[in-house]
Structure 1
Amino acid sequence: MDEAHRVFEGLRRMKATRYSMSEREAWDAFVTDSKNGTFLFQRSYMDYHSDRFTDHSLLFHSDKGQLVAILPANERDETLLSHGGLTYGGVICDASMTTPVMLEVFGALFEYMRATGFSRLVYKTMPHIYHRHSAEEDRYALFRADARLFRRDVLSVIRSDARLPFQKRRSRKVAQAQKLGLVVETSSDLGAFWAILEENLLATHGVKPVHTLEEIELLRSRFPDHIKLHICRENDVVVAGVMMFNSSQVAHVQYISASARGREVGALDLLFATLIERDYATQAYFDFGISNEQDGQILNVGLVEQKEGFGARAVAHDYYELNLA
């Protein structure tokens, strides 16, 4: 690692500093104008679970005092981590970022970590589908630092301008649900969906949703244009639902669940078909999320095949670690 760090020596000086609440306005403005930031990096999203994570986000300024990058992060013992409460992460930057400047950013990052007692970096990248301009300068910097790829998840993604046809099985289930008169609509009734979600997660995996009902209601109230619940109902009964996190070009499936009746009548098939073909047809990408467990080592084949039945295909989401000792 000492040898790898020599790559970053001799670069123009850049300074990394820890984020404080007084910089909230500058932080949020930078995210808004960035080439790879989404609403998840706004402080009103990041800070909702501040009781569970010790925030240690960083800002990077050039030697002229210009803010050139930010890193959403939290600390745990002697490890600095891409923020554990966010789906994706890494260095957020604007369109002026270049590869040499990113090397300077990482040089400042390593200097800061050594000075503040961090011995390990866990770095969560951002899948390219979220980039408004190409933004993989950080991956090159990680390579130059000899960072180790320790996790790779598979997102199932539909590219809207080149959609593949649905599998016949999925189309048959959609037709079944339509014939039974099931209705798809946007809903504000989070409670009915959350009851189905919690029951299924407990029965299948013995866990609860990452967000509590109160947390997701809070986040939706803060980001009503980005967080939406879509349900499928039979008469007046909710039989399936999908919670969507919608950024500028990616419609991301955050939560999926159906009741026993919903699974029987193809409610999720009709729901997904409607979201893909109608509600989010203008988004560049429709992201079903991952089908992995145990740091990407286990693939839930049944789940990924369901997603791929709608024409989704794989996009890699990588995680790296780096020991400074």
Structure 2
Amino acid sequence: MFVKKYQNEDSIIWNEFVSLAKNSHFFFLRKYMDYHSSRFIDHSLMIYDDKNSLIALLPANISGNQLISHQGLTFGGLLIKASAKQNEILSVFKALQDYLSANKLTSLTYKRMPYIYHEMPCDEDLYALFRVNAKLIRRDVSSTIKLEKQIKYSKGRKWIVKKASESGMIYQESTDINSFWSNLTAVLQRVHGVNPVHTVDEIKYLHETFPKNIKFYTATLNNEEVSGAVIFEVGNTVHTQYLFNSELGRQVGALDGLIDYLVKNTYADRAYFDFGISNEDQGRVLNEGLISQKEGFGARAVVHDFYEIYPGCE
């Protein structure tokens, strides 16, 4: 195995591999990864087998003397060639350990991709993590609906969805990103005292670059935008990247109605509808109110695991 640090001239090869990987995701493409390149020191890796064939990619950045898979992304881990076998991935992890040693890096933080984003069985890295004595350092819990076997809504969710339906709410895809982002920012500031992770210019760039993957949906009442959802679409899985509900939206159940619309209409033919995590303090605190709302729609737990890999563990 040979480990090569990614360079800009590798972008075509990188992107082609991402599109063919059995755990592909659009935010591993370089146009997504590089939009916030000024915030991170990219140190992504390309792993080749003994026949000089690219077998895996590791999106990553450097922080101090640590390698992290990648702080600008929700999750990461290895992107794996569909034909790769278990022994080959064991060799990949041993090569990564050697790379850490050769470059005087103390560890690799490995943010494993949840299985709902796998296009086919893809647990070779999970077994390899065990074999190199990787340490589980964090576990977040996301809430996901399996759409073909959806658990019924709770009574409270049913009541709120019915309330929204009777209010005359209109649900639709939005193209007015400026208005959407202004409303989202106002709600996040009022409720949490924070701004969206993406600026309006960043999200507009990403939407223009990935129009098939990033969508904006709104709930409007009397021509007023009262709730919204930013959806990331990846194969058979959709993820709610941002959600907001104005004061009026809360009164009429707009967000619940919008989620119901997305689940039962827009994305009824997909496999998974993922709400994201409900954790604080590196996974050790569960926001029970937040996860209860998601579980009210029939969502159940899918974990996001973080491992620490050290040089020469085995």
With normalisation by structure 1, the TM-score equals 0.94
Deviation per residue, 1:83-114 (Å, 9 max, x gap): 11111110001221221111110111111121
Separation in 2 of the partners of 1:16 and 1:322? Answer: 16
Separation in 2 of the partners of 1:324 and 1:109? Answer: 8
Comparing 315-324 with 278-287, greater Cα deviation is found at 315-324
Deviation at 1:289, TM superposition (A): 0.6
Matched, 1:154 2:154: no
Aligned to 2:36: 49
Aligned to 1:8: none
Deviation at 1:175, TM superposition (A): 1.3
Deviation per residue, 1:237-293 (Å, 9 max, x gap): 100000000001110000011100001100001100000001111111000111111
| Paired positions, count | 312
Matched, 1:278 2:239: no
Letter aligned with residue 308 of structure 1 = E
SS in 1 for 2:120: coil
Structure 1 segments (4+ residues) deviating >3 Å: none
Matched, 1:129 2:88: no
User: 1:180 pairs with 167, 173, 178, which one?
Assistant: 167
Separation in 1 of the partners of 2:274 and 2:31? Answer: 23
Separation in 2 of the partners of 1:84 and 1:322? Answer: 16
CA contact (8 A) 2:170 2:220 kept: yes
SS in 2 for 1:270: helix
CA contact (8 A) 2:147 2:270 kept: yes
Comparing 161-170 with 236-245, greater Cα deviation is found at 161-170
Separation in 1 of the partners of 2:187 and 2:173? Answer: 21
Aligned to 2:64: 77
Superposed CA RMSD in Å reads 1.1
Aligned to 1:244: 231
Map residues 198-277 of structure 1 onto 2, 5 A cutoff: 198-277=185-264
Separation in 2 of the partners of 1:206 and 1:108? Answer: 44
Deviation at 1:116, TM superposition (A): 1.5
Deviation at 1:169, TM superposition (A): 1.4
Deviation at 1:207, TM superposition (A): 2.1
Deviation at 1:121, TM superposition (A): 0.9
Separation in 2 of the partners of 1:313 and 1:172? Answer: 20
Comparing 162-171 with 27-36, greater Cα deviation is found at 162-171
With normalisation by structure 2, the TM-score equals 0.97
Aligned to 2:183: 196
Deviation at 1:136, TM superposition (A): 1.3
Deviation per residue, 1:141-196 (Å, 9 max, x gap): 11111111111111100111111111121111111111110100000122222223
Structure 2 unmatched ranges of 5 or more: none
Aligned to 1:66: 53
Letter aligned with residue 307 of structure 2 = Y
Letter aligned with residue 169 of structure 1 = G
Structure 1 unmatched ranges of 5 or more: 1-13
